[in-house]
Each structure stands twice: as C-alpha cells, then as structure tokens.
Amino acid sequence: MSKKSLNIGMIGYGFMGKAHTNAYRKVNHFFDLEYQPVLKAACARNEERIQAFADRWGYQSVETDWRKMVAREDIDVIDICVPNNLHKEIALAAAEAGKMILCEKPLAMNSDEGEEMCNAVEKAGVANMVWYNYRRVPAVTLAKQLIEEGRLGRIFHYRSDFLQDWTISEDLPQGGEALWRLDVNAAGSGVTGDLLAHCIDTAIWLNGAIESVTAMTETFVKERVHQETGQSQPVGIDDACAFLARFSNGSLSVFESTRYARGHKALYTLEINGEHASISWDLHDQHRLSYFDHRDDSIVRGWRSIHVSDSDHPYMDKWWVPGLQIGYEHTFVHHVADFLEGLSLGVPASPTFRDALETQKVCDAILSSAQSRQWVDIA
C-alpha cells in the first residue's frame, strides 16, 4: 500500500530535535500507518550547525529563518523544538499558514500565551499536539488502562517527583544555547515548567483535573553570569518547587521537583493509591510497573513488578519478542505513531494544545501560590 507523504519542517536541532527526528525516521518501520513522515527541511539560525544536523539526519534542505520555513508550500508539519519564549510566535504563524503543528513542552511561557495558541490552531482547523512523551511509556500507558478498568477503585492519593542535580555549581552560567533553561526570559520558569510540567501532564491524564494548589519554590543560586552578556545578573527561575494539590475526584497529591538533588540525574517517579489497589512507576526502571492489589489472598498479597514487554501490553506488539524491553527514545516513536493514526482517523491525538493548556494553568497557579503563599484555584 502506498503511503501519503507528510513533509516535516523541524525548527531546532538540539536534544529534542534529535529525539523527534529519530522518531520520524523509525515510526514506519514498526507501525503500519497511512502516512510517511518525510524529513523535508530543518531550520536554525546557525547555518553551519543546521546543515551538519541535516546531513547527519537526512533532511533534504535547510533554512536559517523560521518564517521562510513556515511560508514554504512543501511543508505540511512544523515541529517546534526551540526555547519556550519562541513557541507562541512560531505557532501563530504556522497556524495562519495552515500547517499542522507539533510543539515541545511546555506549551508556552504562560497561560495567556497558551490560550492564544489554542485559539489560533482551532480557528485554522490544523492538527496539533504537544510532546508530553511520558504518557507513551508503555508502563505508564498500562497504568492508565488499569485505572480506567476500575482496578484501583476510588483514588485517594497521587504523588510524584522529578529530581535532577545538574545546576548545583554556582559557576554554571545562565542563558545562551545550552543553558537557556536557566534564563527566565527564555524559559518562563525553572523546574516548574521544565520538570513538573511532565509530572502534571501525566497526573491530569491518569487522575483527572487539578482544582487547586499551594506551593513553595526556591532559587538557591541568586546570581549567575549570563553567557550572552558576560555580566552577573539575578536568576529568575525556580531551582526547586514542591506543591500540594487537590484533584476534582477528591484525591490529594504531593509533587516535588528540583535540580539540586545530588545523585539524581532524572529520577521521575509516581505512585497512586486507590481503594483496592496501588501502582507506582520509576523512570529509571521504566519498563516495569509496580502493582499492589489488596483483594489478593493474604498469603500472597504484596507488591508485584510487572515487566511491561508482552505483546498484550501497550505498544509492545510493535517491537520485539516478549521479555525484551525498549527505551526512552521509543516514547517519541509512539507519540508520532499516535499523531499519524489520529490524522487517518480524523481524531485528534492527545495532548492537543488545548489539553496542554490545562498543565500550563496549573504551572501558573503554582508560581502564583509560591509568591503569595496561599492556596490558588485553577482557573
């Protein structure tokens, strides 16, 4: 069966540019889909670097101005892999040009920008999606299945953390290509929009809407040299954040994230406690889902570790034989596969811009609560 070509215009060439491109290259080898991504063009300001990226990954052409990329008639999809402060402008232009849009997380700098982006894609009627890839870890998708089947019963608690340690050194600068996440003008926030956004998106997907939060944040290193100016200036992002939340289903939750947890490079965990059963998951052991069911006979009751590799587990029938596991990069392949399948079925794949806006609203409420030291309702 001949496939329909879908021409990709990639804006950005960093970590996520590579992860997304790898997914576009692999998806049709493992998933039977109507559409075939074509690496049509890659875009960045530095011509030498973007040409090297295009040559390595197989893009047919390059641009150094994203506006030219968006204006090209041979581009079907714009993939936004640039700092957060550029998301809105590119997305609005792409929507006006009738392009489908895949955007890195978080959706925007804040909810107001996110609302503009949602309105733009909805007015244009273009397919859109945000790269919250942890939804598509098979073990996390299995957790969703168990919850929807009612195996946990009423949910009482949701807890999650995301711990890193890469910004502890006071000598680490802020800003510039590699360290824009430490520059509030480029990132909007620190761990809240970077790490907690993942935790929040997964939580909303698994457990429903968050109604209210109370939070605290801390910036441990108050000033850093900015790479673009060479001058020391105040740090505006949050290095660490912890917050409590109430979900619409009545459950309570605790979230924590930091870049100052020495010994942890990317420890993302979640646990959900229900009336009948509990589940937990750890990114460092991402192919396993821990499950406890109180309804088991007492002599065998206890936590079990489900090795998510069988063909009846989510996505796993597309990969290797049972018992062999997959990795981080495969979550992006699943993301692309679901997006392409959604195009064929005429059903938007989640999270859409509108879905991701809910996470943005929670992030905004967290930062507001940390400043006011009060509970904040989610608008």
* CA angle, 22 then 24 then 28, to 5°: 115
Continuous segment of H or E residues that includes residue 138:
helix 138-148
Number of domains composing the chain? 2
Q: How far apart are CA 351 and CA 367, in angstroms?
A: 23
Q: Which of 109, 133, 157 is the last residue of a domain?
A: 133
Q: Is 332 helix (H, G, I), strand (E, B) or coil?
A: helix
For residues 347 and 199, membership in a common domain is answered with yes
- Give the residue from 82, 109, 133 where a domain finishes: 133
Please give the distance of CA 315 from its chain centroid, rounded to a whole number. 18
Per-residue pLDDT band at 1 (split at 50, 70, 90): low
Same domain, 342 and 206: yes
| CA dist list (Å): 12 to 24, 83, 160, 245 | 15, 9, 30, 35
Which residues, at least 6 apart from 169, have a Cβ–Cβ distance to it below 8 Å?
none
Amino acid identity of residue 327, one-letter, is G
Q: Cα(106)–Cα(355) distance, rounded to whole angstroms?
A: 11
User: In the chain, how many H helices and how many E strands?
Assistant: 11, 17
Q: Are residues 111 and 167 in the same domain?
A: no
One domain for residues 127 and 164: no
SS3 279: strand
Residue 276 has pLDDT above 80, yes or no: yes
* Statement to judge: residues 55 and 154 lie in one domain: no
For residue 139, the surrounding DSSP H or E stretch is: helix 138-148
Range of the domain at 70: 4-133
How far apart are alpha carbons 323 and 15 in whole angstroms?
29
d(CA 269, CA 104): 21
DSSP string, 224-252: EEBTTT--EEE--S-SEEEEEEEETTS-E
For residue 6, the surrounding DSSP H or E stretch is: strand 4-11
Instruction: Based on the fold, state whether residues 70 and 163 are members of the same structural domain.
Output: no
Q: Which residues are CB-contacts of 153 (< 8 A; sequence separation ≥ 6)? A: 274, 275, 276, 277
CATH value at residue 58: 3.40.50.720
Checking if the pLDDT of 43 tops 70, the result is yes
| 332 and 285 part of one domain | yes
Could you give the CA distance from residue 90 to residue 66 in angstroms, rounded to a whole number? 8
Strand, coil or helix: 347: coil
> 169 and 84, same structural domain?
no
pLDDT interval class at 3 (50, 70, 90) = very high
**126: Cα separation from own chain's centroid:** 20
Q: Do 201 and 59 reside in the same domain of the chain?
A: no
| Span 98-103, average pLDDT | 98
Q: What pLDDT, in 10s, does the model give residues 348-375?
A: 999 999 999 999 999 999 999 999 999 9
Q: Are residues 124 and 150 in the same domain?
A: no
- Banded pLDDT at 379 (limits 50, 70, 90): confident
Name the maximum alpha-carbon separation found in the chain: 67
Radius of gyration of the chain (CA): 21
SS3 190: coil
| Residues 193 and 324 reside in one and the same domain | yes
Q: What is the mean pLDDT of the chain?
A: 97
Do 72 and 141 lie in a common domain?
no
Cis peptide before 351 (omega within 30 of 0): yes
Residue 154, domain CATH: 3.30.360.10
Residues 6+ apart with CB under 8 A from 376: 212, 213, 214, 365, 366, 368, 369
- Which residues are CB-neighbours of 285 under 8 A, at least 6 positions away? none
The arithmetic mean of pLDDT across residues 204-211, rounded, is 98
The dihedrals phi and psi of 30, each to the nearest 5 degrees, come to -120, -20
Summarize the confidence of residues 113-140 as an average pLDDT: 98
Confidence of residue 167 (pLDDT cuts 50, 70, 90): very high
- What is the mean pLDDT of the segment spanning 191-196? 98
Asked if 65 and 33 touch (Cβ cutoff 8 Å), the reply is no
Which strands, in side-by-side order, build the sheet including 376-377? 304-307, 288-293, 277-282, 267-274, 155-163, 252-258, 240-247, 210-218, 376-377
Residue at which a domain ends, from 133, 163, 179: 133
Cis amide bond preceding 106, omega within 30? yes
